[in-house]
Structure 1
Amino acid sequence: MNFRITGLAPEPFSSLFGLPDDELASRGIKRCYVDCQPGFPDRIEMKDAEVGQSMLLLNHVSQPANSPYRASHAIFVREGATQAYDAVNQVPEVMRIRLLSLRAFSEDGMLLEADVAPGQEIEPVIERMLANPAVGYIHVHNAKQGCYSGRIERV
C-alpha cells in the first residue's frame, strides 16, 4: 500500500524566524543553536539540523481534532526552513534513526490503534494500520522524547 509522509507547512512559523530572543520568549518559544547531530529534528524539512544552525523550540498542536485525543507538545523547527517534506513511500532519515510511536486515527480524531517500532522497521506497521479502512491518518512521534514527528496518509 502506498503512503505519503509530510512535514509541517513552513508558513505558520515563518513570521517567527529572526525575531529577537525576548520576543520569542514572550510567546513561550526558545531559540537553540545545534551543538550535536543528530539531536535537533526539524519538523518542516524532516531532517536533523546541522551543527551551528538556529532552531526554534516551541509548543505545537499536533492533533487539533475536537476529540479526547487533542494534543500538543514541544517541537523544533529550523529557522529559515521553507519547504515541507512530502514524499511517497519514503521514510526520511530523521525517522529511520529513532524509536517511533505510531498512532492511527479516524478522520474525526479518535485513536484506533497505536504501536512502537524502530524507524528502520515502520513500513509493516504503516501497512497494517492503513489496511484498516477506518484509519484516516497516522501520526508519528519520537517515542523517547514524545515529540510529534510527521503525518502519514494513504496515497
Structure 2
Amino acid sequence: MALRYICMPAEEAQRIWRGGRDANGNLPERHISDGDGVPCRHCLSNVEADQPYLILAYRPFLSVQPYAEMGPIFLHAEECPAAADGQTMPPVLTSSKDYLLRGYGADERIVYGTGGVIPQEQLEQRAEELLARPDVAFVHVRSAKYNCYQCRIERC
C-alpha cells in the first residue's frame, strides 16, 4: 500500500504567518531553535539551529468534538514550502526512535485498539496495517514522549 504523508495545510500555516491566532486564540510564541528536535509541521523538516520558529496550539481536525485533540506544535517563523511529494517519509519522522500512531475513522474519532508506540523503523508497516482496516480513514503520528502531533498519514 502506498502512503501519503500530509503536513499542516498551507492555508492554516499562511494564516498563522500573517498574524493569525492559534487554536486557543493566542498569538504564537517566537523562539530561536537550538537545532535539536524542533520539527516544523508545514515543511516536515527540523528548524535549523539559530533559526526562528513559532510555538502554537494546533487542532489537526476539521470538527470540534471530544476526540479532536489540540496541542503544541512548531512552525518555521518565516514562510517555508509545504512538505515535498507526500509519498516519501518526511525528515521529522526519522529523528526519533519511536512514535505514537493512532487510527481515526472518517468521523475523525479514534478507532479504539489502534493506538500504540511504534519503533521508527516499523512506522510505515504499522501505518499500512492500520490503513488496511476499513474502519480507519487516516492515521496520526505523534511524539511518543510528549504526544505532540507530527503529521497525518493516508492511503494514496
Q: CA RMSD in A?
A: 2.2
CA displacement 1:1-44 (0-9 Å, x = unmatched): 1110011123323344376xxx99x8242101012x23111000
Q: Structure 1 stretches (4+) deviating beyond 4 angstroms?
A: none
Look up the match of 1:110. 109
Contact 1:97 1:120 in 2 (8 A): no
1:62-73 → structure 2 map (5 Å cutoff)? 62-73=60-71
Give me the TM-score of the superposition, normalised by structure 1.
0.85
Give me the TM-score of the superposition, normalised by structure 2.
0.85
Look up the match of 1:146. 147
Per the TM alignment, residue 66 of structure 1 is displaced from its structure 2 partner at its CA by: 4.3
Change (3 A) 1:65 1:15: closer
**Which 10-residue stretch deviates more, 73-82 or 60-69?**
60-69
Question: How many residue pairs were aligned?
Answer: 150
Distance, in Å, in 2 between the alignment partners of 1:66 and 1:28 is: 20
Distance, in Å, in 1 between the alignment partners of 2:13 and 2:132 is: 34
Distance, in Å, in 1 between the alignment partners of 2:49 and 2:18 is: 18
Per the TM alignment, residue 119 of structure 1 is displaced from its structure 2 partner at its CA by: 2.0
Distance, in Å, in 2 between the alignment partners of 1:18 and 1:52 is: 22
Query: Structure 1: any 5+ residue segments left out of the alignment?
Result: none
Query: Structure 2: any 5+ residue segments left out of the alignment?
Result: none
Contact 1:5 1:151 in 2 (8 A): yes
Change (3 A) 1:59 1:72: same
Look up the match of 1:49. 47
